[in-house]
């Protein structure tokens, strides 16, 4: 794949797990875990991943949604 940041063709795709911390008290931030392909540019270090549509409401609200919540 091509890097969207620098245009390099040296940007392989990796299986990835991303943990996003939602707003909350320091030390107890709710965590949303995503499993997504991650493209990492081996020239500039930029990384890119996609968030599944089913998880977007959690990020938009910043609060847990029943059935999608992990902590």
Dump pLDDT digits (tens) for 11-28.
999 999 999 888 777 777
Contact 41, 10 (CB under 8 A): yes
Nearest to 14 by CA among 41, 46, 40: 40
The average pLDDT across 20-38 equals 83
Interacting residues of 26 by C-beta distance below 8 A, sequence separation 6+: none
Interacting residues of 14 by C-beta distance below 8 A, sequence separation 6+: 37, 38, 39, 40
Contact 34, 20 (CB under 8 A): yes
pTM: 0.71
- Predicted local confidence at residue 65, as pLDDT: 54
Domain residue ranges in the chain: 1-71
């Amino acid at each position: 794949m091509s890097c969207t940041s620098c245009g390099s063709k040296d940007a392989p795709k990796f299986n990835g797990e991303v943990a996003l911390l939602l707003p909350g008290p320091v030390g107890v931030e709710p965590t949303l875990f995503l499993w997504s392909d991650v493209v990492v540019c081996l020239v500039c270090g930029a990384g890119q991943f996609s968030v599944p549509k089913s998880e977007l409401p959690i990020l938009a609200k910043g609060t847990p949604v029943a059935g999608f919540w992990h902590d």
